[in-house]
Structure 1
Amino acid sequence: MAKRPDTLETLLLALELLRRIPRKNKITARELQEQLQNAGMDRDLRTIQRMLETFSEHFEIERDDRSKPYGFRWQEASRGMAVSHLTPQESLLLQLAQEHLRNLLPPRLMQSMSGFFDQARRNLDGYPDNPQSTSLEREWQHKVRVVATSQPLLPPTIAPGVLEEVSEALYANRWLELDYQNAAGKRQQAKVMPLGLAQQGPRLYLVCRFEDFDNERSLVLHRIRKAQASTLSFERPKEFDLAQYDADGRFGFGYGEKVRLTFEIETEAGFHLTETPLSRDQHVQVLNGEWMQISATVVDSAMLEWWLRGFGEAVRNIRKTEVKS
């Protein structure tokens, strides 16, 4: 009886390791140990190495022993850790979510989920020996799509390793050393405290504090030439809130200053604002059959200016009144 807890712990560890072994890229025992530590499971490296050796003998797991440290992955033809309890609807949701989570979760967490994503895809595609595969769920992924609200742009190229290092430092609350080049071409070395990661259209932004400063800045990831997560950790500022940072219009190049915006817009161009208002206190006044007046409390920002200019001559009499907090 005394050995039962140890047996259970060993079983749970084995399941966690099997679930985290990827199908495509190889993973080392050290990397698996770090993933387990991040998940609250502290195990010594030798224990993990012994388990991996056993797995490679009894499961369809490939061991690359051409050089140390050895790399492990599921063989291509294997089914890996099948998640048989996933319903077709859950499989569909996972596959759709994968694309949206790709740049918003630390790469190691995405890698640890690869078994679920792979199984979700298999559940939808079906195995050759599974005649009961559900064709309706397979068709559904071709029936839904997220479409752009503006001119579609290709995502900028991010230097190799940058997203991984940024994500690792952000996830573990570690200082981040950057080689950054701004839009004017000026290059600088900096040590920053990573606080948040946001996706805006095709761009990824890192919200951070530079060393010895107490204000936040947003850096686009594709302008980071090199990044290195430090071993030094920091205490995350309790007063910082990424959601509030966004609400203050900081990703739209604003500073949280609210204004009462009033403008006139041609009815045809502005009709969508009656369905998707600028704010909860928006007021619409019909002037005549061709024009309407819109009033709303919004955050003043460069993005707001660009949005208004996009209507060209269909917008007139723009006024902004400061809203005192």
Structure 2
Amino acid sequence: MSDTRTLRHMAILRYIPQEPQYTTTRELSDKLSNDGFDINMRMLQRDIEILCCQHPLSCDDTVRPHRWFRIQGVSDASLEMTPSTALAINMLSEQSHYLLPRQVHDNLKGFFLQATQKFAVAPENPLYHWPSRIANLSPGFQLCKPIIDDKVMQVVERSLIQQTPLEIDYRPRPPRYSKKYQINPLGLVTRGPVYYLIATLRESGDYRHFVLHRIQDAELMTVAQHQVQDFDLSTYIKNGNLSFPKDNKITLELKVSYIEGYHLLETPIHPDQQVSYPDPHHFVLKAKVNHTEELKWWLMSLSDISEVIGPNFLRRELAESLEKAVRQYQSN
């Protein structure tokens, strides 16, 4: 690209404002002429087409003359993006939808578009094919996403950002009925397709987990939020509080078929698990784990290739559940 063309392109980018402002091709032509550029309308249109492939520019072609603007959320300093930066933004754009407030994610849509366009015009770049050569697949059978009210999500996110209490109208599992709660939101956690709002009740200070798609309405309160001392979301999750806890830690002893359960030797249930081999066809795992409902569900999923040896109460609990399942299948 010649120096003149480069300077002309830089000038065009400077003169295209960010939405909701806009400019027209004629206005751009006049400004470039005033800057001393010798350019006709055909050349300008070709320049704009090239720049649209490299930068987050857009056009409203439903009106005459067409209106050009830079997509909201992209500053002048970000008009150039290196291939490695574009790759990182491309790869993170999907995950950011779950981790960022929606209003922030919407403000970044220009960066995401710019990252996509950066590679669209440079297929010869060796990084171009990376997104098509790597994928993240969630384990197990996946359920569809529940429907979350957009207004509820916006209010919840605002309350977390501003540390403001909420009054929510919450619909629990049947047969219980909807109930209003006044809460102090502490954190938002995604588990697969489900969002959990961690909060304390304003009256008692007790911790509660509210499934976001069951919140029918949410309103910010004008009173000050009760601050929870020493609350750390990472520690709260690490301690198993979102795994439907039943008791504290237990020592799990699990006999597993060697062939079918070999993956448990490669991906241990605990970093300090102990392994023994009572016979050529089985191994026994022994480790301290959190006693949760999820542990029981996981053990049930392995019930055809494993046997809980201890603790005894957990062995009895699984046996009762399996007997119930057998009765259901034999009832017909």
Given the two structures, how large is their TM-score scaled by the length of structure 1?
0.71
Question: Structure 2: where are the runs of 5+ without partners?
Answer: 1-14, 23-56, 60-67, 314-332
Q: Which residue matches 1:146?
A: 136
Kindly tell me the number of residue pairs found equivalent between the two proteins: 253
Does 1:259 find its partner at 2:250?
yes
Q: Is the 8 A contact 2:202 2:226 kept in 1?
A: no
Superposed, 1:242-281 pairs within 5 Å as 242-254=233-245, 257-281=248-272
Residue 148 of structure 1 deviates from its aligned partner by 1.6
Q: 1:60 to 1:175 in 2, by over 3 A?
A: closer
Q: What per-residue deviation string (whole Å, max 9, x for no partner) do you get for residues 69-105 of structure 1?
A: xxxxx75464443624432222122122121121222
Return the match for 2:290 from 289, 299, 303: 299
Amino acid at match of 1:138: Y
Amino acid at match of 1:149: P
Q: Which residue matches 2:195?
A: 204
Relative contact order: is structure 1 or structure 2 higher (C-alpha 8 Å, sep ≥ 6)?
Answer: 1
Q: Distance in 2 between matches of 1:321 and 1:247?
A: 26
Return the match for 2:145 from 136, 155, 160: 155
Q: Distance in 1 between matches of 2:92 and 2:287?
A: 34
Q: Distance in 2 between matches of 1:93 and 1:233?
A: 39
Q: Is the 8 A contact 2:254 2:286 kept in 1?
A: yes
Amino acid at match of 2:100: L
Q: What per-residue deviation string (whole Å, max 9, x for no partner) do you get for residues 248-287 of structure 1?
A: 2121101561111111011123211111111121011122
Amino acid at match of 2:154: E
Return the match for 2:84 from 89, 93, 118: 89
Given the two structures, how large is their TM-score scaled by the length of structure 2?
0.69
Q: Is the 8 A contact 1:88 1:134 kept in 2?
A: no
Q: Which residue matches 1:179?
A: 169
Q: Is the 8 A contact 2:251 2:311 kept in 1?
A: yes
Q: Distance in 2 between matches of 1:233 and 1:212?
A: 13
Return the match for 1:224 from 215, 225, 246: 215
Higher alpha-carbon Rg = 2
Q: Which residue matches 2:101?
A: 106
Q: Which residue matches 1:67?
A: none
Q: Is the 8 A contact 1:106 1:167 kept in 2?
A: yes
Question: Structure 1: where are the runs of 5+ without partners?
Answer: 1-56, 65-73, 127-131
Q: Is the 8 A contact 2:19 2:70 kept in 1?
A: no
Q: What per-residue deviation string (whole Å, max 9, x for no partner) do you get for residues 217-270 of structure 1?
A: 111111111122334442531221211221121211015611111110111232
Return the match for 1:240 from 228, 231, 243: 231
Q: 1:314 to 1:133 in 2, by over 3 A?
A: closer
